[in-house]
């Protein structure tokens, strides 16, 4: 049981650090100082975009220099479930000069436990950015208290390629597509361009005999996204991740993972993030309460915290 106690201790601690760092960043946000220095100017660098190239070529299409939902690191995929679920949650992302809120919607549909369709959407995000960050990102200057941006839809297909029951080893192939529905590219919030990825993931699990299952998941693959550039029109990256999980059937589930991708251009395109999740069943009708956090470790400066609810249906309402 020491492993489970460790999960209970470490995860709330990391979530708390992320939350209080976010509060501090929000309190320190120097909007009034920027207003005094720059006034209420809007536009490209507050004056005009007096350069021969189109402004889209000056946006840096990398996770280090865009919004938190622009080029997200794909989650380490779970093995195909024997049930369906829908979930709704909210996220809060903070870095120096940026505060963002957004809802998250997810639909997961399993096809007899051998294939699955997963659809995730950030329908809208609300954010505020400092003038310094707008300058760093070559973004449109806007001093509104809160700005809006519609988000992307990500569609994934999962296919089981191995189920070695005797050794409790499974493997799945995944193909994912990010749509070009995200908006507000002029403020460097979304790429307004498609991305795609595919990978292979494996899982090894162990039953403890006390109702808990411990698992390790790992994935390797390829990630690519479109650029607006006269010479390079696409950036390619290696996709990778590892995840540790512990779950008690129908009650608790905890996950901790490291995931990222390694871009070809090395210009802020190599994000690495830590993610954690805790889920707890509420009653026996298939409802779960979830809490999750994310901390950027490289080429992604945001710290994020969120919570949501999940409804599981179809085959047995367990995890």
In a domain, residue 63? The reply is yes
Per-residue model confidence (pLDDT) at position 41:
46
Question: Which residues, in sequence order, are CB contacts of 298 under 8 Å at separation 6+?
Answer: 260, 270, 271, 272
In a domain, residue 318? The reply is no
In a domain, residue 319? The reply is no
Question: What distance in Å separates the CA atoms of residue 239 and residue 225, rounded to the nearest whole number?
Answer: 12
Side-chain-side CA neighbours of 131 within 13 Å: the count stands at 17
Q: Is 227 helix (H, G, I), strand (E, B) or coil?
A: coil
Q: Where are the alpha helices (DSSP H) in the chain?
A: 2-27, 31-38, 131-136
For residue range 57-70, list pLDDT tens digits in order: 778 899 999 999 99
CATH number at residue 124: 2.40.160.40
Number of structural domains, the chain? 1
In a domain, residue 27? The reply is yes
Give every residue of the chain whose pLDDT is below 50, as ranges: 1-31, 34-35, 37-42, 44-49, 317-319
For residue range 206-227, list pLDDT tens digits in order: 988 788 999 999 999 999 999 8
Per-residue model confidence (pLDDT) at position 242:
97
In a domain, residue 113? The reply is yes
Q: How many residues does the chain have?
A: 319
Question: What distance in Å separates the CA atoms of residue 196 and residue 65, rounded to the nearest whole number?
Answer: 20
In a domain, residue 252? The reply is yes
Q: Which two tokens stand for residue 133?
A: 């960050």
> What is the span of the domain harbouring residue 21?
2-143+151-313
In a domain, residue 228? The reply is yes
Q: What CA–CA distances, in Å, run from 30 to 14, 17, 25, 199?
A: 26, 22, 10, 42
Per-residue model confidence (pLDDT) at position 166:
74
């Amino acid at each position: 049981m020491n492993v489970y106690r460790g999960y209970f201790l470490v995860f709330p601690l990391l979530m708390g650090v992320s939350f209080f760092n976010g509060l501090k960043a929000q309190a320190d946000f120097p909007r009034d100082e920027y207003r005094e220095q720059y006034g209420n100017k809007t536009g490209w660098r507050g004056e005009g975009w007096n350069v021969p190239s189109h402004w889209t070529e000056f946006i840096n299409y990398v996770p280090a220099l865009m919004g938190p939902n622009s080029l997200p690191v794909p989650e380490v995929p779970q093995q195909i479930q024997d049930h369906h679920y829908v979930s709704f949650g909210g996220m809060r992302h903070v870095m120096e000069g940026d505060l963002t809120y957004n809802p998250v919607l997810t639909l997961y549909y399993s096809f007899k436990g051998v294939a699955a369709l997963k659809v995730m959407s950030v329908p809208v995000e609300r954010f505020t950015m400092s003038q310094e960050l707008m300058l760093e990102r070559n973004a449109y200057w806007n001093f509104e208290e809160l700005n809006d941006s519609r988000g992307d839809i990500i569609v994934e297909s999962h296919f089981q390629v191995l189920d070695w029951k005797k050794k409790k080893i499974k493997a799945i192939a995944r193909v994912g597509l990010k749509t070009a529905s995200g908006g507000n590219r002029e403020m460097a919030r979304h790429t307004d361009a498609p991305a795609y990825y595919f990978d292979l993931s494996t899982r090894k699990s162990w039953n403890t005999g006390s109702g808990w299952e411990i698992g390790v998941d790992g994935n390797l693959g390829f990630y690519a996204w479109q650029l607006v550039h006269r010479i390079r029109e696409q950036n390619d990256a290696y996709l990778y991740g590892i995840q540790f999980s512990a779950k008690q059937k129908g009650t608790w589930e905890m996950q901790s993972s490291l995931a990222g991708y390694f871009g070809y251009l090395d210009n802020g395109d190599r994000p690495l993030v830590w993610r954690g999740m805790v889920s707890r069943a509420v009653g026996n009708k298939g409802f779960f309460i979830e809490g999750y956090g994310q901390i950027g470790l490289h080429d992604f400066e945001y710290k994020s915290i969120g919570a949501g609810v999940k409804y599981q249906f179809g085959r047995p309402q367990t995890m």
